[in-house]
Amino acid sequence: MKRLRIHYCLAALTVFLTALSQNAYADTVTAIIDNVSAPQVSMNLRNWCPLNIPPAYAPPSGILTMGTRATQFRVQRTGGTFQGELLGNVPGRFAAFCLEPLQPAAVGTNKTYTLQSLSMGSTDIGGMGAQRAGMIRELFGRFYPDFSKSITQEQSAALQIATWEILRENIDPNTCTVMPLSYSDLDVTDTSSDIFFSYATDGSIALAQSYLDALNGSGPTAFGLAALTLPEVQGQPSQDLLVQFVPEPSTWILMGVGIVGLFWHRNRTKARLAA
């Protein structure tokens, strides 16, 4: 009986995820990223593809160091085909994090993004893939599962730093694509790694490391995480965004129909066994 219940739960989950992929992904979201004021952190990369830096201008140390703002963005939605809700903690705005540390965000500009599965995000490296998407879902599942809740600037910076660490560690320098990643690779201060952070005005770097140290593949995962992607256009802001969404009404209807069908099938099976 217990095994049968597990079977039905898994089947219901499959129906739900299928409905999500068919009804939400590939929809569009037109939005404007608000200007943000946040402390800078020093980010260092040994592999800075897809930036095309001429050899004469490449850092002699082989490490590209840049100041960047690690924070949670507030984004105003202005249109698009997606009918669901994007979660945020400020009225009239949804919350987002960056998925591409080397791409500028289109701050103050109306852009049309494509809503895609999280694994497709970070298009500058060909998509992060299922493994890294799973790590990010666990990261947010443990420490920020609901984007409608408020968090401190230090917490949002730590989540952003941890996300960048997951995305840019172990990137093939020749093809600019992801390679297998283990939890032991996730060290935001290891100066021998592909990406590390050397300065912040608060405790966000240490907090990010504590978040990463907690990941083991068995923690809770955040629901509804997805990527808003922009085409990679040379010289134009093309930052992909990490967002959290609530499915549109048609998705809930499909899920409801699927669950009703499962219960009908279960009752029919019980009746047949009792006959």
Q: Buried (b) or exposed (e) across 177-207, using 16+ Cβ within 10 A?
A: ebeebeeebbbbeeeebbbbbeebeeebbeb
Chain segment 31-90, per-residue pLDDT in tens:
999 998 888 999 999 988 887 777 777 888 889 999 999 999 999 999 999 999 999 999
Q: How many CA atoms lie within 13 A of 16 on its CB side?
A: 14
User: In this model, does residue 97 exceed pLDDT 60?
Assistant: yes
pLDDT for 256 equals: 45
What is the amino acid identity at position 246? Answer: V
> Considering its fold, how many domains does the chain have in total?
1
Residue 216's domain comprises 28-249
Q: Are 178 and 126 in contact (CB under 8 A)?
A: yes
Chain segment 118-162, per-residue pLDDT in tens:
999 998 889 999 999 999 999 999 999 999 999 999 999 999 999
DSSP summary character for residue 193: S
Chain segment 243-256, per-residue pLDDT in tens:
999 975 544 444 44
What's the CA gap between 267 and 204, in Å, rounded? Answer: 53
Q: What is the pTM of this model?
A: 0.82
**31/5: higher pLDDT:** 31
Is residue 10 assigned to a domain?
no
What is the amino acid identity at position 258? Answer: G
Q: What band does 273 get if pLDDT is binned at 50, 70 and 90? A: low
Token pair for residue 182? 């283990």
Best CA proximity match to 122, nearest among 136, 110, 138: 136
Residue with tokens 């791409």: 103
Is residue 273 assigned to a domain?
no
Contacts of 139 (CB under 8 A, 6+ apart): 159, 162, 163, 166, 211, 212, 215
pLDDT for 222 equals: 97
Is residue 235 assigned to a domain?
yes
User: In this model, does residue 10 exceed pLDDT 60?
Assistant: no
What's the CA gap between 57 and 225, in Å, rounded? Answer: 38
Is residue 69 assigned to a domain?
yes
pLDDT for 255 equals: 45
Is residue 21 assigned to a domain?
no
User: In this model, does residue 233 exceed pLDDT 80?
Assistant: no
SS3 category, 111: strand
Is residue 265 assigned to a domain?
no
Token pair for residue 113? 């993004």
Chain segment 172-197, per-residue pLDDT in tens:
988 888 999 999 999 999 999 999 99
Phi, psi of 104 (to 5 degrees): -75, 150
Is residue 6 assigned to a domain?
no
Is residue 7 assigned to a domain?
no
SS3 category, 98: strand
